[in-house]
Structure 1
Amino acid sequence: MDLFDDLPEPTNDPGPVKAKKPEEEERGEKRKRDVSSQDTEVEDKKQEEKKVCKADLPKLMGFVSARRGEREEMQDAHVLLPELTATNLPSQVSRLAYFAVFDGHGGARASQFAAENLHQTLLSKFPKGDVENLEKLVRKCLLDTFRQTDEDFLKKASSQKPAWKDGSTATCMLVVDDVLYVANLGDSRAVLCRLEQAEDSGKRKCVTLALSKEHNPTIYEERMRIQRAGGSVRDGRVLGVLEVSRSIGDGQYKRCGVISTPDLRRCQLSRHDKFVLLACDGLFKVFSADEALQFVLNILENEAVELKEGQSEGAGRFEAASQRLASEAVRRGSADNVTVILVSIEF
């Protein structure tokens, strides 16, 4: 016996319905139209606010210069995406941008893999639709992205014959509207140039804001983690070989306490912000952060530059600054690969 045999057959007859008077029907239809119109107006207003918000966001442009230096191979990689295309963004997000520098060691495969894949993984994990506590979700997204990128590369590296032993630092800047999120592993760095009025002269001066934290085995917390994992630090290096304590790749050192968990920094942009510098340690071996920012600022404000056809003066100066900064690092004796990214900020 079927379970529903005792139920009556469905019918298309809805039964008796009380007839509405013409004026009641008209009032009902009017209420529906009013509600629908209000919903449309609210949605249009939200879209308009979102567009206005996007129009007020700072314009970002990226400029890069790379030098091989005295190395036989260029092992650095970089990514410049001033407009990172994404679908189904949270309603409170109008724009994403992404800039990154990767300093490879033991080969260029880890840095190239990260440059090609990390932002793709980031997009797949970025919050979608209506969300609450966006900042918390963005931070989780970045942590998950670095973990996944490292796992994916290690899986690929271990499948090779012989296995790849490449590794890479990573300094990535994700811009969500007018907020910077910087995630970094290793000793590449990101610094922000913020202009403030000097009290004595009244002129604007550059204030250096560090947006990243270096990870090397000489730092107490890093050394303790390595030693707890059974590794050792000799001559300032993991097992006397690896200079950084966090990286993508380096599978042979992961059992010794080298991790791929990035340090995260958040920074709200203001109209006083001029540019962000992202660079590998090849630059910072011969430049302090303050010195590098002042070097760039002098070119932006004082030195003569030659513009390309159709190029704005601002873009021409930033391009010249990135080129001259990288060249100056080599001239000062940096034997490493040197990659310099300047991200201009214009409100």
Structure 2
Amino acid sequence: MGAFLDKPKTEKYNSHGEGNGLRYGLSSMQGWRVEMEDAHTAVLGLPAPGMTDWSFFAVYDGHAGSKVANYCSKHLLEHIITASLGAGNTQSSQSGSDVSNPPAPVPPAVEAVKAGIRTGFLKIDEHMRSFSDLRNGMDRSGSTAVGILLSPDHFFFINCGDSRAVLYRNSQVCFSTLDHKPCNPRERERIQNAGGSVMIQRVNGSLAVSRALGDYDYKCVDGKGPTEQLVSPEPEVFVMVRAPEQDQFVILACDGIWDVMSNEELCEFVKSRLEVCDDLEKVCNEVVDTCLHKGSRDNMSVVLVCLPNAPKVSEEAVRKDTELNNYLESQVEEMLSRPGEEGFPDLVTVMRNLSTDSGMPPLPPGGGLASKRSVIEAVYNRLNPYREEDGVSISIYNKWVFCLSLPIYRR
């Protein structure tokens, strides 16, 4: 679960779409992990009566394998829809309706949706337990899940584990889901009541999340219900009324993103990128690359859902970003045109020299110099006669991370 590669896998999976007044983009990268265990869901228009103008997005962060995350990405939504529509189906079958002119489908009420989300999580967790490899311990995988269900009037934020969703409204972080960590008092109490312990901030000293789908080794305490086990599959659901004139975007991401960027840093960075680029896949790719360069060693997945009032491309922002790129390129070219006494400078030396440059234009908020590594590295590689074609080594990468931890790079 904690094994790493010699070099990160930086190929990305991308997707995007538009509908129901929304635009979304997503990006995922394996990074330094030996296996890609993340998965995701993005559906515009739910396949259910009365819910075609609803949408659903989710990120699943698997651990100890990818089976649970992948299965949930394909089937969790159908469990939620089935449970949410249960009461509505009963009402629609009542006698007295005109068969020749049936009423228009009615979407489920808010409380029915909240109950349906909870039931959907419990049902899919119960269903997966029957899989032979999960039942007999051949596969011990589990997964967090963070998602958002959008109706025309409401946000339903859904969280089970330590992936996270944030809402950016009125140019500030308006809402964030709460991570389910074993050291949280409420989670610790349930764990201890089930006969477990919290050591080194982990369930029984092993699992770093206190709620997840799968992880059946932690769900076998006799006499306890599914939500009373060491690890619970029960999601927390937060309902918010949409504010069309104020809501700007929602970000869903796994902890490989949040490990190196705070809520505010990520939202400010995304806002700054949306002001220079309207390609949401590209914006998400910049998030993933920036987090890799900030030192994330985990799989990384991010889904960006832009609402009608999302930031728009600004000529002024584009001009400033271009000026910054040109400045960085010229500084690197100048440094490489005059090698010092020790010969051709390595990339770390170039970065260190940039850190002393008081004339540098402002860096992207939240991203800092890490978000401009591709610009710097492209110039360096073009002019470097000793370039290695097989990518960045661990030693160079670790020097990068050290340099990027300096205050100058976090401006």
Q: TM-score normalised to the size of structure 1?
A: 0.72
**Take 1:174 and 1:85, find their aligned partners in 2: how far apart are those partners?**
13
Name the structure 2 match of 1:187: 162
Change (3 A) 1:178 1:237: same
Cα deviation, residue 276, structure 1: 0.2
Q: Superposition pairs for residues 293-304 of structure 1, below 5 Å?
A: 293-301=267-275, 303=276
Q: Superposition pairs for residues 273-284 of structure 1, below 5 Å?
A: 273-284=247-258
**3-state SS in 2 of match to 1:69:** strand
Name the structure 2 match of 1:115: 73
Change (3 A) 1:262 1:250: same
In the alignment, does 2:230 pair up with 1:257? yes
Change (3 A) 1:166 1:133: closer
C-alpha RMSD of the superposition: 1.9
**3-state SS in 2 of match to 1:79:** strand
Name the structure 2 match of 1:164: 139
Contact 1:211 1:265 in 2 (8 A): no
Contact 1:76 1:101 in 2 (8 A): yes
The structure showing larger relative contact order (alpha-carbon pairs under 8 Å, at least 6 residues apart) is 1
Name the structure 1 match of 2:118: 143
1:226 to 182, 186, 191: 191
Bigger radius of gyration, 1 or 2?
1
CA offset digits 1:30-70 (Å, max 9, x no partner): xxxxxxxxxxxxxxxxxxxxxxxxxxx96112210111111
**Take 2:80 and 2:108, find their aligned partners in 1: how far apart are those partners?**
18
Q: How many residues align?
A: 265
**3-state SS in 1 of match to 2:32:** coil
**Take 2:230 and 2:167, find their aligned partners in 1: how far apart are those partners?**
30
CA offset digits 1:201-248 (Å, max 9, x no partner): xxxxx2102241110101011011100100111100001110000000
Q: Superposition pairs for residues 2-151 of structure 1, below 5 Å?
A: 59-87=21-49, 89=50, 95-127=53-85, 128=88, 134-151=109-126
**3-state SS in 2 of match to 1:110:** helix
Contact 2:20 2:44 in 1 (8 A): no
Contact 2:42 2:58 in 1 (8 A): yes
Contact 1:94 1:177 in 2 (8 A): no
**Take 2:287 and 2:80, find their aligned partners in 1: how far apart are those partners?**
30
**Take 1:332 and 1:277, find their aligned partners in 2: how far apart are those partners?**
19
Name the structure 1 match of 2:128: 153
Residue type at the aligned position of 1:298: S
Name the structure 2 match of 1:324: 286
Could you tell me which runs of 5 or more consecutive residues in structure 2 were left unpaired when the two chains were aligned. Answer: 1-18, 92-105, 222-228, 310-411
Contact 1:85 1:96 in 2 (8 A): no
> Which aligned segments of 4 or more residues in structure 1 are displaced greater than 4 angstroms?
129-133, 157-162
Cα deviation, residue 178, structure 1: 2.8
**Take 2:143 and 2:132, find their aligned partners in 1: how far apart are those partners?**
13
Change (3 A) 1:153 1:218: same
Change (3 A) 1:68 1:58: same
**Take 2:107 and 2:33, find their aligned partners in 1: how far apart are those partners?**
48
Name the structure 2 match of 1:34: none
CA offset digits 1:58-88 (Å, max 9, x no partner): 611221011111101110000111222212x
**3-state SS in 2 of match to 1:103:** strand
Contact 1:77 1:115 in 2 (8 A): yes
**3-state SS in 1 of match to 2:295:** coil
Contact 1:61 1:82 in 2 (8 A): no
Contact 1:67 1:339 in 2 (8 A): yes
Q: TM-score normalised to the size of structure 2?
A: 0.62
Contact 2:134 2:140 in 1 (8 A): no
**Take 1:157 and 1:212, find their aligned partners in 2: how far apart are those partners?**
33
In the alignment, does 2:188 pair up with 1:214? no
Contact 1:75 1:337 in 2 (8 A): yes
Could you tell me which runs of 5 or more consecutive residues in structure 1 were left unpaired when the two chains were aligned. Answer: 1-56, 196-205, 306-313
Identity of aligned pairs, percent?
33
**3-state SS in 2 of match to 1:187:** coil
Change (3 A) 1:221 1:134: same
**3-state SS in 1 of match to 2:302:** strand
**Take 2:297 and 2:108, find their aligned partners in 1: how far apart are those partners?**
45
